[in-house]
Structure 1
Amino acid sequence: MGSATSQALADARDAVAKLGTVPAALAEELFSAGLVVGDSLQLRHALSDPEVASTEKRALLGAIFGSKLSPAALELLDGLAAARWSRSSDLLVGIEEAGLRSAAASTEADVSGELFGVERLVAGDAELELALGSKLSPVETKVGVVERLLTGKVSPQTVAIVRHLVQQPRGRRIGELLRHAAAVTADARGFQIATVTSAAPLGEAQTTRLEQSLTAQYGRPLRINAIVDPALVGGLRVQIGDDVIDGTIASRLSALRQKLAG
C-alpha cells in the first residue's frame, strides 16, 4: 500500500471517529456507494484524480448520490474523494474502510467477534466457502446465501458487512475478506486481534494470561480469537496483524526435518 493511500485511510478513520453518534444506516449507505463507484471506471477515476478540483468532485457526488444518501454519508465520500490515493482503485479501499468502521461504531454488538465466527463457519464448510467465494456464482446468489445464513443470528451490521464483501471482493478470497473486516472493526473499537491456534482448546486462565501478556507486549488491548487444530500436536501459533509467533511442535518438527535433510 502506497504512502498516499496510507495517509488517506488514516484520515478516513479520523473522519468516522469524529462523527460521534453513527447512524445505523451509514455503513450500508457507504457500501452501496462503493458498489456504484466500483462499477464505473470513469467515475472512479474522476473521484480519485488529484487534478480534478474538490468542488467538481463534490458536485459530481451530489448529482449521483444527493437524493440517495444522508448528509453524513455524502460528507465522508466528499472527504474520501478529496484525499490523494496511490492508485485510483484504492478509493474503493477507503470507502470500504469507512463503511466497516461506521458499522462497528453504530452498534453495541461485537461485530469483530461475529465476523470471526462467520470466518470459522466458512473455513469449516467447503461447500459454503465455494458458494460465497466462487467467481462463477452470481452475486445475487451469494447475497441470498449470506442473508439466509446470517439474518437473525448476528447483528444487522455484520450481515451488511458480509453482504458487501461478497458483492465487491476485489480479487480477495472470502476468508481473507472476513479476517480483514474483523481486524478493521476491532481497531475501530480500540483493540487488536490475536489469532491463537492450538492443538487443544485453551482454558479460561490460559487465555487470560496470554491476553494480558500480549497486551503488555504490544502496548494495546488485544482480544484472542482461538482456533483449535489437532495437527499442531502441541504449542501455540499466534498471529497479530503481520506478526507471527510460531511455537508449535509441528513447526519445530518441520524445522528439524529440514535441518536434517539439508
Structure 2
Amino acid sequence: MPTNPLFRVQPDEELAEAHRELLLAFVDIDRLQQLLQSALPLAERSVLWLDDRFTRPYQTSHAVNYLILTAVDHLHCLKTVMQDADAQHIFAPFTLIRSAIETASTALWLLNPKDRKTRITRSLRLEANNIAMLGRAYGTMGVDVAETTRMRLELLSAAVEKSQVDKDVVMGSYPSVQTIISTATKEAGLSRWIFGAWQLSSGSTHGKTWAGAHTSTFTPDAGSSTEDVFNGCLSSDEASISKVLLAALAVINRALRLQARRARRSNGGSFNKTQPCSGELRWVQVPMRVVRT
C-alpha cells in the first residue's frame, strides 16, 4: 500500500530529541511563570520610565508587561496540559503557541524602536485599537459602552497632544498581526523562521490541512486503507511542537532582554550594543540555535 503523501512519518530519533527539548522548554516556562509574578521595576529616567510619561494613562511599560505575561500564560498552559496532566493534543498546542508568538511579538514591536516618538506612536496605536475593538465587541453583544469609549478617547487624545505624535497615524488603521510579527522580528534581528512558526501554528489553529501535514503524524491502517483512501490514526507531532515552541520562547526571551535594558537608567551608551546579562535562563541561547535550523 502506498504511503500517504500528505503526512510525514516521525522517526524515532527525532521523537526522542523532541522529548528532550520539550522537557527543557517546560523547565524554562516554569521559571518564566515564576519570574513574571512581580512586575519589572523601572529606574527613574530610564527609557521606559520616560515613555510612560508621554503615554500615561496608557503606559507603555504596562502594555509590555501585559503582553509578555499573556504570552507566558499561554505557554504555561501548554506545559501544564502536556507535562502535568500528561495529555497531548493534535492541534491545541499550536493555538497556544500561536498566541504566545503574537503577543510577545507585539511587546517586541513596542520596545524595538530607538526613536522615542516611534515607540510612543506604536504604544498609542495599540490603545486606539483597544478602544475600537472594545466598542465593536460590546456593541455586537448589545452592551452600551459609548460613555466608556468617549472617556478613553479623551484620555488618548490628551496623550497624543502631550507627546506631539501624529494623531492621524495613531487613530489610523492598525497593522495586521502578520505585519507586527514580521516587523518586530526583523527589527530585533530574529530569524525569519519565527514568522514561519507562526504561520504553521496559525494554520493548525484554523484546521488548514497544509499546516496539519507538517504539524501532525498520520499512521495508516493497512487493513482498511485503499489506494486512494487512507484510513488510520492522526496524532500529534512532538518534533513540530518543540520547534515552534522554541520559536515562541526566542521572541519572549528577546522581549524580556530588551524590556530589561529599556527599564535601566541609560549610561549614554548606544542601544545597538548588546549589554551583558547575568542570571539568564537556558533559553537565552538554545532557542536561537534551533530557530536557525
TM above 0.5: no
- Report the structure number with the largest CA radius of gyration: 2
TM-score normalised to structure 1 length: 0.26
Give the number of the structure with larger relative contact order, counting CA–CA contacts within 8 Å between residues 6 or more apart: 2
TM-score normalised to structure 2 length: 0.24
